[in-house]
Every structure is written in C-alpha cells, then in structure tokens.
Amino acid sequence: MYPPPPPAPHRDFISVTLSLGESYDNSKSRRRRSCWRKWKQLSRLQRNVILFLLAFLVLCAFLYYTHLTNRWKALGGSPTEGERLRVEMPGPKPANPPVLPAPRKADASPEGMVTMLLQKSRKHIRRGPPRLQIRAPDVDSKDKTQDEDKEQVAAPRDTHQEETPQRTVISWRGAVIEPEQGTEHPSRRAAAPSMPSVPAARMQKDLGPPNARQKGVIEAFLHAWKGYRKFSWGHDELKPVSRSFSEWFGLGLTLIDALDTMWILGLRKEFEEARKWVSAKLNFEKDVDVNLFESTIRILGGLLSTYHLSGDSLFLRKAEDFGNRLMPAFSTPSKIPYSDVNIGTGVAHPPRWTSDSTVAEVTSIQLEFRELSRLTGVKKFQEAVENVTRHIHSLSGKKDGLVPMFINTHSGLFTHLGVFTLGARADSYYEYLLKQWIQGGKTDTQLLDDYLAAIQGIRAHLLRRSEPRKLAFVGELAHGRFSAKMDHLVCFLPGTLALGVHHGLPTEHMELALALMETCYQMNHQMETGLSPEIAHFNTVSQPNLKDVIVKPADRHNLLRPETVESLFYLYRVTGDRKYQDWGWEILQSFNKYTRVRSGGYSSINNVQSTHKPEPRDKMESFFLGETLKYLYLLFSDDRDLLSLDRYVFNTEAHPLPIWSPA
C-alpha cells in the first residue's frame, strides 16, 4: 500500500490585479462615473422631468433679476419711503388763521366747528404751505413721528376685496372715447423760489353750522361714501348697483379725490379714516400705467390741496413722490409729454393707436406741477410744464386764439388741423390759461393775452343762438363747417368767464357768462329727469314745435358731471344772485331722485329723458365726490370767504390751490 500524499503547503498572500494607466484618487472619478451611471439608468421620462425643472428655475431667476434691474433704473437710487417720511417738511408751518375750520362730525355741535389751532413755526429744509392751513384734525404727535412706518388702518371690511378688478377703458373726464385711426432721477434740490406766500386768511369766528341745503349736500356725500366704504374701499371707483368696484389706476382714486371735500364739509371721522389709508396703504411703487392728465388733476391735485387745507405734511410727501414718478412722461423729442406713464418702471408712451397727445391733457397740468415746485423747491416740475406752455404759445395752426385738439409728441406740432371745440380734448386748455395767470399773481401777460385772444375767437367762430328761445351756445368748427353741438363739458365756460371778471377782466365777459349759464341750466331743466345729457345739439332753424335743445339717443347719458354746478358756484360768488343757488338745489334733488342707489352711492344713468327707466350705468365717477358735491356745498354757503376767490384757484378737478402773491 502506498502512503497518502502530503498536504498542500499553506500560502499566505493576496492576489491583486493592477490596470496600467489608472490610479485610485479617493474614489472621486469613480463617484462621477457612478453618478453618470445612475443618470443613464433613469428612464427617459424621469430625465426629461428633471431637465424641465432645472430650466424653469433658471428662467425664474433670470426674470427676477431683470425685474429688480428695471426697478433700480426707475427709482434711480431715490430715498426710500421710510427715509423720506422721517424728514421734516420744509417751509413756514401754518401759523395764522386759516380759511377753513377743522373737520367735524356730520352731527357735531356748532361749537365744535370753530375750534382752530395755530401751529407753531418749526425749523425747515424746504418751503412749506403759504400759511393757509390749520393743524390736521386730532392727529397725535405719535402719528406725526411714526407716520407710515407704524400706523395701522382701521379699514372697513369689504366682501368684494377679492374680486377681480375691472379695468376702465380710456376716457376723457369719465367719458368713453373710441380710439381714432390714424426715467429721470430726482433732480438736485433747487433753491426755494422767491415767490412770497399768500396773506393769511381771515379767522372765521362767527362761522355757524351748515344751512339746510348744505346739510343736504353732506347727507348726499355720506350716502355716496357709505357705498364706497362698504363695497370698494381702497379701489378706484364704486359700482353701486352691483355693489362692487372698478379699477383704473389701482390707487384709491375716489378716496384721494374726496379728501379735501371731506375736510371742507367738516366730516372729521371720515377724513381721519381716509388719512390712515393714505398713510399705510397708498403705495406708488407698482407696475401700472396712469394717464398723465387724469392722475395729475385728481391724485397730485388732491394731495396738494389736502396738504394746504389740513397742514398735514403726509400729503405733501405723497405728492412729491407721485410727481417724481410722472416726470418720465416729458422725455420726448419735443418735450410735449406722452399721455401715459408707468409709475413703477418709469416707462412713458403715447396711446396705442397714435403718437399724439390731446392739447387739453398737456396744457392742464400746469397748476399742479407749478405748485409742487413752489412747495418743494425742486425746479424740474415747473420747468417741464412751463416749457409746454411756451411751446404751445409759439405754434402756428391756431385760429384767432383757438387751438386744435391734438399735438404730436415727436414733432411738437398740432395735428388734425382745422378742428376747433371747447368740448372734450380742448376744454381745460382755455381754463388753465386764465387760472395760471391768477395763480401766479397776474404777472404773466403772455397767459393773459392768449386767454383774451381765445375768448375773442370763441365769439367770432363758435358762438351762436338757438331757436326759438335764442339761447347762446358754443358749437364746434371743423374745416370751416359749423356744428351746433355742445358738450356738457363746455359748461365750465360761464364760471371761467365770471372768474376772469372777478379778477378785473372786461365786463363784456360777464354778459357772455350770464347768457351761457342760462343755456347750461336749460340743458338740465328741459330734460325729463332735470339732468343734462352728455352732449346737446341746438336747433338753429325757426320751425314750429321744435325745442332749442335736441338730444340724440347716443348722447342722452349723464355721468354725474360737475360743470354746470361749478359755473353756478362762480356766478353766485360774483353776482350774489340767489337764483343760481335755487338752480343748484334743483340739480341736487334730481341727482337724489334718479341716480341715488339705495345700498349706497350714486350711479351715472343712460337716459336723462326717461323718468321711469333712467337705466343706471353702475358707475360712480370719482369726480362726483371730488367736484360735484364740493361745488354744491360751496354754492349753498352764505360765506363768500369760504375758499375765497381772492386767495384760492381751483384746478380742473375742483381742488383749491393758493394764489401766489405778486413778487
């Protein structure tokens, strides 16, 4: 037998296989290969989803960066709102008796109406209001120092706050207009102008409670305000029938337009609540286009007026901020401003369908911008608008002082030559010629000459008499052809003529004012509802059974406009004839009967010729509170020193601004 084989020898070693050209580096390359392997192992759907999400995040980051860049360019490093609010407003603070008493509650006792406080003068940086205002009603010193940073709004509850706002189409003073075919950094502070302040107004020690008719206006205002407060608080305009709101600029247009009206009517509670909203909620840093003209007369004019009446510097700070945001509109080749400007981005542009601006728009912002320069000492506001005034003065294409309706922002020349009207798109050009002359202390003879020439042009080319009652009316002229068409807007003219006579212009202007005032009253009185149509045509042929005033179906709507009661106010102030107060009372009663909405507010109507179906249009324009009710309240006042015509000039939205004393 053979012995078993010996066991295999034990070997202690490890077999390792090495690959040439590769090394171990803490497994980083292996991890990269591992990630790539895992990526390749994903399905095509999974890989597409991940790539889409990454691309979406990159796009969002790019858009956000672009948005921030635009805002930086628009604001140009201007001081923040919080920094500006902590700067004390300049100028002599009100230290003399004001024209107006402090606001009171609607049911306040007469004793509360005459409480007036004299404000102590303070050190200042810039020019302040011209000693016309009184201390803001019951504003705590805490509110004064903290202002917008800490102030909270006791805003009314609004069941419609979440509704989608309805944008308003382009309009002229509230009238829908169909399209026709066819940023600067805040400038360095300038030295305050040398214009002296207006003399202090008389202390009204014997100012009593409102009379019966004024109480009627207060009641109408409170009813309108109830609807706005309940259904559209902080929005532009009330839709009283549907109990909702519409948006134009998204800046609380009705609230701002009504601020000085509340002060004048003595509505202390309502004014305070509105002031808190302005302090905490009115923010101009928003990406929205505004119409230069409409936003200037309503927002800028309303803030400046409220500052003068209340003495509250909050409103001047807001006005200066807003004025700066409007300035890019003047960045055109001709310096004739564009019609629209985005107050968030600083981008200005003309309407979509044309490069023209309307003449009234570019020549009816001067009162407000000039006053803003006077108060702040920043010259650029006044220089911009006065350049426009001088340019218009030098242009050809006029007809005996009458101007066309359109002007091109690139060439700076009139367009649509040969068409002349005192209605929409031209009306307030003539109004502001006179009012700028008055505002500046009657020193600018160029403005006066242009105004007097225009009145002569009206007499020569646009003035006619109707049949059978021989009513004087102002028509339109198109390429030599006369049209017996008169907008209700033209009813500003009797008041403007009377204002001129009050300031020393020819008495023959008063004769024309009296005649046109009768016509504007008849435009209301001859309608079944007692309210004027938007447009009237006049019969100029003597025929039986024809009335003087003819209304076409498309023109018989009423927008709660103020022009008739505005002129009634001026005619009563100048003549003292109480029939103008009676005519105004008739119109207020008609508003209450045919436009009042039970749940709150007043609505424009479609048919002034039907007492049974006036057809509410479901819209209350901001100027109903800003102008119509204000002028009615002043018309019914027995005190001619309440906003005296010798100390104040009203802008075209009825916001009173002080008259400058002559140098």
**Binding positions for Ca(2+):** 652
What interhelical angle do 445-461 and 427-439 show, nearest 10? 150
**Residue 372 burial (CB < 10 Å; 0-12/13-18/19+)?**
buried
Active-site residue, from 294, 321, 431, 627:
294
Q: What angle do CA 237, 238, 243 make, to 5 degrees?
A: 150
Let me know if 563 is a catalytic residue.
yes
- Closest of 240, 215, 213 to residue 226, by C-alpha: 240
- Cα distances (Å, whole numbers) of residue 314 to 198, 257, 302, 484: 22, 16, 13, 47
Q: What angle do CA 177, 180, 181 make, to 5 degrees?
A: 160
Let me know if 219 is a catalytic residue.
no
Let me know if 294 is a catalytic residue.
yes
- DSSP assignment letter at 396: S
Active-site residue, from 312, 563, 566, 621:
563
**Residue 632 burial (CB < 10 Å; 0-12/13-18/19+)?**
buried
Tokens standing for 539? 């019969």
Tokens standing for 82? 């919080």
Q: What is the rounded CA–CA span in Å between residue 624 and residue 254?
A: 9
CB atoms within 10 A of CB 389: 21
Query: Which residues make up each annotated binding site?
Result: 652
363: left (phi over 0), alpha (psi -120 to 50) or beta: alpha
- Is residue 94 a contact partner of residue 133, using CB atoms and an 8 Å limit? yes
Active-site residue, from 147, 320, 361, 427:
427
Residue type for position 411: S
CB atoms within 10 A of CB 564: 25
- DSSP assignment letter at 311: -
Active-site residue, from 270, 534, 618, 621:
534
Let me know if 257 is a catalytic residue.
no
Q: What is the rounded CA–CA span in Å between residue 109 and residue 89?
A: 33
128: left (phi over 0), alpha (psi -120 to 50) or beta: beta
Catalytic residue positions, numbered: 294, 427, 534, 563
